[in-house]
């Protein structure tokens, strides 16, 4: 049975059967019988939105920027950004998450995106955490602020077992932000698209609840 989705007042309510969950879950056990899909909580300075509900020009300004993309695959052309937005929509419809666009609460400036991508290679409920900010907003701890809310959402309503994050070895800004969030080094892997060994970090629900 497919997931049933109800939308009311900006809230998407998911109900699904034991045979066809829309979310990854522990094998053999149903992790969620009913789940309300909303957005990570607004922070002191930032609010989250869905890509479908904002001007796609924001996505183009972010992912076509050579400085923003220098460590994450290089600047994207119009077709690539459009494909990325389609992918974000798909992740939302299948898993209820995406790399949500973020905006300043005051002034409504576009800041970038921060969010979750489900990992399907483990039996546990795990996500990849990521953040991409427009250059004008670097250095103001926005990545940490947005990710703190995303982490709370992942370990709270989503019931995640663990989160993972990684970066190119030379992406010092990302390394600092990931460590500041409490992630711990987990392992290194050869990342085929770059041909480089990338460090990988993990934030586990148990570790977090003990700290």
Ligand X SMILES: CC(C)(COP(=O)(O)OP(=O)(O)OC[C@H]1O[C@@H](n2cnc3c(N)ncnc32)[C@H](O)[C@@H]1OP(=O)(O)O)[C@@H](O)C(=O)NCCC(=O)NCCS
Helices 56-63 & 78-95 angle (0-180, nearest 10)? 120
Q: Least distance (Å) from ligand X to the CB of residue 147?
A: 8
Q: Indicate the Cα dihedral angle 108, 112, 118, 121, nearest 10°.
A: -170
Of 103, 142, 153, 164, the residue at the interface with ligand X (CB under 6 A) is: 142
Q: Which stretch binds ligand X (CB under 6 A): 6-14, 33-41, 131-139, 189-197?
A: 131-139
Position among 172, 185, 187, 189 found at the interface with ligand X (CB under 6 A):
172
H/E stretch holding 131: strand 126-133
Binding letters toward ligand X, positions 173-192, x by CB under 6 A: xx-xx---------------
3-class DSSP state of 121: coil
Region of 78 please: left (phi>0), alpha (psi -120 to 50) or beta.
Answer: alpha
Stretch that binds ligand X, among 4-12, 74-82, 88-96, 141-149 (CB under 6 A): 141-149
DSSP string, 25-71: --TTS-S-SEEEE--PPP-SSEEE--GGGS-HHHHHHHHT-TTTTTT
90 binds ligand X (CB under 6 A): no
Q: How far is the CB of 58 from ligand X (least distance, A)?
A: 14
Residue 122 Cβ vs ligand X, minimum distance, rounded to whole Å: 20
Q: Which stretch binds ligand X (CB under 6 A): 98-106, 167-175, 184-192, 201-209?
A: 167-175
Q: Whole-angstrom Cα distance, residue 121 to residue 51?
A: 26
Q: To the nearest whole angstrom, how small is the minimum distance from the Cβ of residue 176 to ligand X?
A: 4
Whether residue 166 contacts residue 192, with contact meaning beta carbons closer than 8 Å, is answered with no
Instruction: Give how far Cα 146 sits from Cα of 21, 100, 139, 183, Å.
Output: 28, 10, 13, 15
Structure tokens that stand for 133 in this block: 């900010």
Asked if 151 is part of the footprint of ligand X (rule: CB under 6 A), the reply reads: no
Binding-residue pattern over the window 91 to 130 for ligand X, x denoting contact by CB under 6 A? ---------------------x------------------
Sites of contact with ligand X (CB under 6 A): 68, 71-72, 112, 131-133, 138-144, 167, 171-174, 176-177
């Amino acid at each position: 049975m497919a997931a049933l989705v109800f939308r009311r007042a900006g809230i998407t309510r998911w109900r699904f059967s034991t045979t066809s969950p829309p979310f990854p879950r522990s094998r053999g056990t149903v992790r969620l019988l009913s789940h309300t899909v909303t957005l990570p909580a607004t922070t002191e300075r930032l609010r989250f939105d869905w890509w479908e509900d904002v001007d796609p020009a924001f996505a183009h300004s972010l992912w076509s920027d050579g400085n923003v993309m220098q460590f994450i695959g290089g600047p994207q052309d119009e077709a690539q950004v459009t494909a990325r937005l389609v992918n974000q929509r798909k992740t939302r419809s299948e898993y209820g998450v995406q790399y949500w666009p973020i905006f300043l609460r005051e002034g409504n400036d576009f800041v970038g995106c921060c969010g979750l991508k489900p990992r399907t290679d483990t039996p546990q409920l795990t996500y990849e955490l990521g953040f991409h900010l427009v250059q004008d907003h670097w250095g103001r701890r926005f990545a940490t602020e947005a990710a703190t809310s995303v982490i709370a959402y992942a370990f709270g309503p989503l019931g995640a077992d663990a989160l993972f994050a990684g970066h190119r070895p030379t992406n010092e800004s990302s390394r600092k932000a990931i460590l500041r969030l409490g992630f711990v080094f987990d392992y290194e892997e050869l990342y085929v698209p770059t041909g480089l060994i990338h460090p990988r970090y993990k934030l586990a629900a148990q570790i977090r609840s003990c700290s």
